[in-house]
Amino acid sequence: MSESEYPYVAGDDSPESQDDVGPLSQFRHGAQDRRLLEVARLDAGIAANTDFDDKPWGLLYRALIDSIGLSPDDFQLTYPATHWDWPRAQAGFIPAAQYDFCATAPQWSAIGAYVSSGDTVHQAYQQFLNVIPAQTEYRSLRQHLHDADDALVTATNHYTLATTAAASCYANQVGDHPPTFSEWLGSERGRSYQTRIIAAQVAMNQAQAHYGALVAQCELPGLGEAQRRCGDERLHARFADLNLIRLPKVPDWRIEQDAADWVAKVEAGQGPAGVTLGFSHREAPYDFAQTWAGRRGRVRQLFWQVRIDGRWERIDEFEFDNKLELSLDFQAVDRIGIRPGEWFDGDFARSMIDGPFMPGYSPFGGDSIETRGQPVFGEKGFFGLIKNGMCVGYKPSFAIRTTTSTFRRFVDPFKAATGLRIGPFTFEAEAGSLAAGWKADAATQTFTGTSTCRRPLIIGTTVSELPNAPV
């Protein structure tokens, strides 16, 4: 390559000119603020229930770890209740609900809310690639890279603003899944936001392609190849949902099994084994310091809820019964693997754990001159976590043993119930608890029942910390 191939020559090639501060990336520098905003929205949803007890969440987490063979080293108990009922799609397409669940980066917490409008792993990975300096001895190419990076950051900021505005509206309109964020974009209420996102995404993709083409001409071959794979549309898929067909392709995500096939095997007696687990309110709280997240995060959903006349209500009687005992039985429990398509280069990501990164960024942040800057990895970074699997359960049954006084107070609401929530699990009794065969046994002060829903529940996910994720 000769200098003449780049007719533009920078007027000043000093280090100061190359390090001029361009537009600030709202995605990279605003990642932690967006996560805090998600938490604030969840807090607002239970503002009237500030006295609720989240101890049972920890007890359930421990029961799952002890009974299902999960590990606190990588397991996240997920709420609100989410069904694994993604339809089968032909090659080159992906259902919106499947994409949202797989692509959304999990929260940094052992018990985390699934917010389908959260930051995606793909965009975080792309931004990680963009902060790795592309080195070249040709000053005109350096200037082109500098200009292309500024244009890319500006285009990405427009896309981030469009998706953030849509996510805010989605949070205000949808109290719980379904629909997921992408599904909502295809609805009448979300369609105007979809149009804005499409325009911003097309411009961002064009700017990214231009920047990637310049990076490919630089002296770090691995970076150029990673950029090429990340943007290769042959490794992407279209949404299978007709209302989203105008959206550009999205990075493909793969799951080990199809939901309908899995259910068919379970109901034919050929699926994975079931499991029984439980706890008592008398048990000591769980120490979340033992988990991968390293601390306890407050859970922002009531553990005990009952649905009466189409409305979910808090079950105070269960919360304040210190002798309550819970037993859960699943007809089948399984771990379903999740992995990104070939657009993701895990080997290259792992090789960059120590950088180098552009000025203003550091691998994990810190207080020294060497480590100062916006973190790339870790809890405060923008490229932190990825899902590598999900734990699913089928046809759960419950048995709740209470004190006599609790039983007497709750027996009438129980008979009128059409649904019961125990932590992240929703037990459906669509025709009512009596029609579903649920029982209230006064002799033993026990409420029992089995969900009538034939859709598997997602209990939680297994997560990996980036960049060392084994994917």
DSSP 171: H
pLDDT, tens digit, for every residue of 54-95?
889 999 999 999 999 899 999 999 988 889 999 999 999 999
pLDDT at position 221? 83
Q: Is the pLDDT of residue 11 over 50?
A: no
pLDDT value at 369 more than 60: no
Q: What would the pLDDT profile of 415-466 be if each residue is shown by its tens digit?
A: 999 999 999 998 988 888 988 999 999 999 999 999 888 999 999 999 999 9
Residue 21 has pLDDT above 70, yes or no: no
pLDDT of residue 10: 35
* Residue 390: predicted pLDDT: 96
Mean pLDDT of the chain: 90
269-321 per-position pLDDT tens digit: 999 999 999 999 999 999 999 999 987 566 878 899 999 998 999 999 999 99
What the block records as the tokens of 463 is 């997560």
Q: What pLDDT is stored for residue 53 in this prediction?
A: 73
Q: Which tens digit of pLDDT belongs to each residue from 327-339?
A: 999 999 999 999 9
pLDDT at 15: 39
Pairwise CA distance, residues 145 & 386, whole Å: 29
Confidence at residue 47, expressed as pLDDT on a 0 to 100 scale: 55
Asked whether residue 375 carries a pLDDT value surpassing 90, the answer given is: yes
Residue pair 374/29 in contact (Cβ under 8 Å)? The answer is yes
Half-sphere exposure of 200 (CA within 13 A, CB side): 20
pLDDT greater than 80 at residue 51: no
Nearest to 467 by CA among 358, 363, 380: 363
pLDDT, position 2: 40
Average pLDDT over residues 32-43: 80
Spatial contact of 399 and 447, defined as CB atoms under 8 Å apart: yes
Mean pLDDT of 10-34: 69
The CA R_g of the chain, rounded to the nearest whole Å, is 25
pLDDT of residue 41: 74
The CA distance from 314 to 58, in Å, is 19
pLDDT at 426: 87
What's the farthest any 2 CA atoms get from each other in the chain? Answer: 91
pTM to 2 decimals? 0.90
pLDDT at 262 over 50: yes
Statement: residue 400 has pLDDT above 50: yes
> Which of 14, 3, 9, 12 has its CA nearest to residue 144?
9
Decide if 89 contacts 73 (C-beta within 8 A). no
CA distance 345 to 223: 10
Overall average pLDDT of the 1-10 stretch: 37
Q: Looking up tokens 């427009």, which residue turns up?
A: 158
